[in-house]
Every structure is written in C-alpha cells, then in structure tokens.
Amino acid sequence: MGNVTIKDIARICGVGVSTVSRAMNNHPDINQETKDMIMQAIEQNNYVPNNSARNLKRTDAKAIAVLVKGISNPLFNRMIKVIEQITQKEKYELVLQHVDDNQDEVTVAIELEKEKRLRGIVFLGGYFSHSEEKLKQISIPFVLSTIKLEEKDGRQEYASISVDDIKESERIVEYLLQNGHRKIAVIGSRKDDESIGWLRLQGYRRALERYHVAVDEELICYVPGNLATYSMEAGYEMTDQLLKKGTAFTALFAMSDRMAVGACKAILDHGGSIPDQYSVVGFDGMDVAQYYNPSITTIRQPVEEMAEATIRMLLELIRKKNKSRHLVFEGQLIEGQSVRNITE
C-alpha cells in the first residue's frame, strides 16, 4: 500500500473521515471500541496524518531550544529526557543544540533566536560568566539550568535552577573533616574556571577555614587543557601525578563522580587502598558512584526535579505568568564505602 490517506482508513474501518479525525485527536465524543479499531487500522496501514490543516499547524509550531554545554555529561541526558517529556505534553517542539567547549553559548543563542518559532531557551550547563550586555541581546525568555549567574546588587534578572554549589561542596568537605581528615586533596576544573568549578572550590576553602585548617595550594589540582574536564581520565591523571610527586594527603575530593572513579583507579594502581589509606568523595550522585568498588560517597543533585523545574519555569515566563526567579535545590549526601574515620 503506497501513501495511505485518512479516507483509506475511514473506508477500511467503515466509518466517516470525521470519526477517524476524532479518534486521532482524542476527542471525547467517540466510543472506545471504535477508537481502538481506528487506531489499530492506522498502525497496521502505517498511516501518517498529512492533511493540510496539520501542515498548517506545523509551520506554526512553537519551539523551545535547549543549549547543552558539555555533551559528555550523562547527568544532562537524564535532564533532557524529562524536558522532552514535558515539552511534548505542552505541544512545544524541542530544538536540541550542543555547544562546544570553545563555542560561546550566548552567541549561539542569539543566532538561534532568529528561528521564528522559538519561544524560549534553556541553557544547560556551561561556564556562565557572560556580560549582562550580551545577555540583554536575547529578547525571548531563557532559564539557566544547573548554573547560576552571580548578579550585582543581589538583583534577580535571570531565571536559574541550580544547587548551591558552594554550600554542597562545603558540606562534603566538612564530612571529610568530621572524619578526621586534614590533608584533603581536591581535583577541580580548569585553573581559570569562573563557573561550577570555581564555586565548588570556594566551598572547599570555606570548609577548611571553618575548621581552621590552612589551605595547601599543593593539594589543589586543576585540570589542564589537554584533558576533558570532569572526566574519568582527568581524575586518573591528576591523582596519578599527585601520588608520583609524593604529596601527602589522606582524603581526596573530586568535583565530579566520574573524576572520583578515575582518582580511585589511580590510587589502586599505585597499590593504595580505599578507604584504608585514602578516602575519596565525589559530586553529582551518578549511578557509577553507587556501583563502583568501593561505592563512592557523593552529593546527589536532584537532576530530574531540577529538569522539571527548569522547563516549568520557562513555560511560565513564556506565558508571562511569573517573573524570573532563582530556584536553589538541596543536594543530598550519599554515604558510600569510600570514606574512613581516621580518628577511630
């Protein structure tokens, strides 16, 4: 059968075209049996609705763009899945666009905005330290997700959804301090990071300060440009270097679970044991932290809830039902098998 039309389906089912149309559009005024029969015929005959009314609607379709920075972050996959489900329900098309590490996401957004159907933008991840001047060039609503822009004077001009990276990082480092650790190595992001990596490093510094432990810059590892940030490889290489240098430490805080996995492997390859000789903690709450051997203590970010809040906030902004707000989600410390209390 070539190109099946709505008339063919109506003929096959012995009903009128309008009944087929009602079945497809979930119209309440049709009985379930008839509807099931029609839907089955549609499926069996591979009928794809293609009438002009639908095409008209299509050209008219509203779209939302999600700009994803850092495609290799599996957390984002889980978030995109949630965003897709909600946009679909709300009858928006979704434009997914990945942004390279060396691309500027705001420039990409300004370019994308020219797409006539675009009603709003989600920025997912990225190094968010853009000038307000540049952000002002985006004239449709947008939400920053898993990132936050520090605004002068405490204004809240830009909508954002995130955890409090400083506080959560402080929490997990404090957990290490409570377990008696004082020489705590940290594997962060790039040295010039002004985003997540910088915030998490502030949390590290604050926790040490509160415990009157001097910060030893030797224990702070930045990931060089030849290694992907937050990757297992980066965690491995940085820890390997630290151990080769012979720098003394009893605990290590990796700013992502993937880096924590690499760090554990480097320690094990050097003949070290976890947590007997070295305690290791991560950040994010990915499944690999749970299933690693040993399982890795981490901060779980509630990414599904954050994704839902992101798209709901954007829809409210599009419908002018709300003003820009900063929503901060609470992380959760998940205890694994990777930390030892060295005072016991």
Closer CB to a second copy, residue 103 or residue 247? 103
CB within 8 Å of 19: residues ≥ 6 apart: 10, 13, 30, 34, 38
With tokens 């009602």, the residue in question is: 22
Q: How far is CA 278 from CA 176, 263, 322, in A?
A: 11, 10, 48
Q: Is 80 in the site for a second copy (CB under 8 A)?
A: yes
Least distance between a second copy and beta carbon 259 (Å): 10
Q: Which of 18, 40, 51, 55 binds a second copy (CB under 8 A)?
A: 55
Q: How far is CA 128 from CA 72, 106, 179, 300, in A?
A: 18, 10, 34, 22
The CA distance from 52 to 256, in Å, is 50
Q: Which of 51, 72, 277, 341 binds a second copy (CB under 8 A)?
A: 72
Give kind and range of the element (H or E) at residue 241.
helix 232-245
Closer CB to a second copy, residue 199 or residue 267? 267
**17-24 and 6-13 helices cross at what angle (nearest 10)?**
100
Q: Which of 191, 194, 268, 330 binds a second copy (CB under 8 A)?
A: 268
Least distance between a second copy and beta carbon 58 (Å): 7
Give kind and range of the element (H or E) at residue 334.
strand 332-334
Least distance between a second copy and beta carbon 343 (Å): 26
Q: Is 1 in the site for a second copy (CB under 8 A)?
A: yes
Question: How many CA atoms does the CB half-sphere of 89 hold within 13 Å?
Answer: 10
One character per residue 88-127, x = contact with a second copy (rule: CB under 8 A)? -------xxxx--------x--xx--x-------------
Binding residues (CB under 8 A) for a second copy: these are 1, 3, 46, 48, 50, 55, 58, 71-72, 74, 77-78, 80-81, 84, 95-98, 107, 110-111, 114, 131, 133-134, 137, 231-233, 236, 261-262, 264-265, 268, 287-288, 290-295
